[in-house]
Amino acid sequence: MAETAPILELRELRKSFGALKATDDVSLDVRPGEIHALIGPNGAGKSTLIHQVAGSLTPDGGEIRFNGEDISGLTVAQRVRLGLGRTFQVSSVAPEFSALRNVMLSVQSTQGSSFRFFKPVMHDASLVDAAMEKLSLVDLAERADVVAAELSHGERRQLEMAMALALNPKLLLLDEPMAGMGPEGSKNLTGFLDTLRHEVPILLVEHDMEAVFSLADRISVLVYGSVIASGSVDEIRTNRDVREAYLGE
Ligand code: ADP
Ligand code: MG
C-alpha cells in the first residue's frame, strides 16, 4: 500500500543564532491522522523548529512544505489561513471575556472583516454554536460563561486549544501543551489529544514522556539541533543513543 502523502515536510531546516546551530539540517514529516512527537533536552532547538514552521522565525536554509506547497516565503497570517494552527506560549486569551466569547472571536476571525465585527454579537446563533462545538471538543463547554481570568491554568490551556481549533487547522503545532499542568490536567489533555489526531494531525513538542509514549505514532529526537533518531515509540524507547543522550541512562 502506498504511504499517505505527508501534510508537513521539513527538509534540512537550518537556523543559527550567531555561532549556535539551533536547528542543524532537520528533516521530518507529519502524515495525516498522526501525532508526531518531537522530544529532546532543553535547548535542543524544539521551539526554534516550531517557530520556523509557524513562520515567526525565518530559516537560514532548507524547505518547509505544507500540503505539498512550499510555504517558506509566507507570513504567519498566510500560513494560518492555509490551515497551520498553533497555540501560543504567550497567551492570546482575553482575560476579561468569557471562554465562549474568546472562542467566538477566533471563529469570527476566520470569517474576514474581523475589525468591522470586532465585538462578537452574543446572540448570533451560528457563531455561538460554532464556538460551543469547539469548547465541547476540549471538554470546556460547562465553563463557557466563566470569565477567562477565573479559569484554572489547565482550563486556560484547554481554552487556547479551542481557540486554535476554531481556526479549522489542517495541522496543529503544540509546544509543550502539558507545561504547568497538574497530573489530572495532563491526563485529560492526553485523552483529548488522543481523539483529536483523527481530526487534525499534530506536531507535538512535549517533555511529559508518559504522555509522549502513550500518544505518539512516531517520535523524532532532537539533540543540539540535530535529529539523532526517528521512529516508533518502541524503536525510540529501545534506541541506545537516545537512552544515553536524552533519557540519561
Ligand atoms: P528547546 O525548545 O528545545 O528548549 P530552543 O529552540 O528554545 O530549545 O533553543 C535552542 C537554542 O537556541 C538554545 O541554546 C537557545 O538558547 C537558543 N536560542 C533560542 N532562541 C534564540 C534567540 N532568539 N536568540 C539567540 N539564541 C536563541
Ligand atoms: Mg522550547
Which tens digits make up the pLDDT trace of 215-237? 999 999 999 999 999 999 999 99
Give every CB contact of residue 214 below 8 A, 6+ residues apart in sequence. Answer: 190, 194
pLDDT of residue 243: 85
Best substitution site from 15, 17, 52 to test ligand 1's pocket, by max atoms within 8 Å of Cβ? 17
Measured between alpha carbons, how far is 164 from 143 in angstroms, rounded to an integer? 17
Collect the ranges in the chain with pLDDT lower than 70: 1-3, 88-91, 112-122, 247-249
pLDDT score for 55? 94
Least Cα distance to 129 among 114, 144, 110 occurs for 144
Hey, how many other C-beta atoms are within 10 angstroms of the C-beta on 70? 12
* pLDDT score for 50: 96
CB 234 within 8 A of CB 61: no
pTM of the model: 0.89
Report which protein residue has its CA nearest ligand 1's atom 5. Answer: 45
Task: For the chain, state the CA radius of gyration.
Answer: 18
pLDDT for position 116: 45
Phi, psi dihedrals of residue 130, rounded to the nearest 5°: -60, -40
Interface TM-score (ipTM) > 0.85: yes
Per-residue confidence (pLDDT) for residue 10, from 0 to 100: 98
The pLDDT of residue 39 = 95
| E-state strands within the chain | 8-17, 20-30, 35-39, 61-66, 69-70, 84-86, 171-175, 202-205, 218-223, 226-231
